[in-house]
Copies of this chain bind each other. A is one copy, B any other.
Amino acid sequence: MITQKMKYALKALLVLADEAVKPAPEALTIEAIAKRSDSPKRFLEHILLELRNAQVVTSTRGRAGGYSLRMAPADISISEMLRLIDGPIAPLACLSRRAYQRCDDCTDEATCRIRKVFAEVFWSYLLIIDSLTLADMLRSGEVADQVIGKM
């Protein structure tokens, strides 16, 4: 399950992306983003700060300040946002490349049957999620419609 924080982050990014495609895009204040995304303002503040530190959005201070996208939606990877906000996406720490951690009790990683089976799953999962960007969320998503229909 993705966290509420991640939902707020994605909603905020969608608000910023929607603004970015307008003829005369303006920087949006935290307050405005909070309102449009229906997120708690003071919480969103922290989220936007993280996105800013990750170079995903830019901010300008003072009067008429606010936030706007820094990267093109097609360059904002969903999996990167997940890693940034929710932490590692690997099912096991010992399968994460960036947040690798050996299991305390692990005697032999190479033969661990739990690791093996989840490596298999994770590999396929990464292939999919690593290919998704904010741009895919902006499109109306015909594929997703079909998927939901099947479920």
Q: Which residues of B contact A90 (CB under 8 A)?
A: 1
Is A88 touching B144 in the complex (CB atoms < 8 A)?
Answer: no
- Looking at the complex, which one of B115, B117, B136 makes contact with A136 (CB distance below 8 Å)? B117
In the assembled complex, A25 has its CB within 8 A of some CB on chain B: no
Contact (A1, B141) CB under 8 Å given A14-B113, A151-B97: no
Contact with B along A114-151 (1 / 0, CB 8 A): 11111111011100110010001110010111011011
In this complex, the member of A1, A2, A132 whose beta carbon has the largest number of chain B beta carbons within 10 angstroms is A1
Is A143 touching B120 in the complex (CB atoms < 8 A)?
Answer: yes
Q: Which residues of B contact A11 (CB under 8 A)?
A: 114
Q: Which residues of B contact A137 (CB under 8 A)?
A: 113-114, 116-117
User: Helix, strand, loop or mixed for chain A's interface?
Assistant: helix
In the assembled complex, A7 has its CB within 8 A of some CB on chain B: yes
A70 to B94, CA, bound (A): 31
- Looking at the complex, which one of B10, B114, B124 makes contact with A128 (CB distance below 8 Å)? B124
A10 to B120, CA, bound (A): 16
In the assembled complex, A32 has its CB within 8 A of some CB on chain B: no
Residues of A that sit less than 8 Å from B by CB: 1-2, 7, 10-11, 14, 38, 78, 87-88, 90-93, 95, 97, 103, 105, 113-121, 123-125, 128-129, 132, 136-138, 141, 143-145, 147-148, 150-151
- Can you show 28 pairs from A to B with CB atoms below 8 A apart? A1-B87, A1-B91, A1-B92, A2-B118, A7-B92, A7-B103, A11-B114, A95-B151, A97-B151, A113-B141, A115-B144, A115-B148, A116-B137, A116-B144, A116-B148, A117-B141, A117-B144, A119-B144, A119-B148, A120-B128, A120-B144, A120-B147, A121-B125, A121-B132, A123-B150, A123-B151, A124-B124, A124-B125
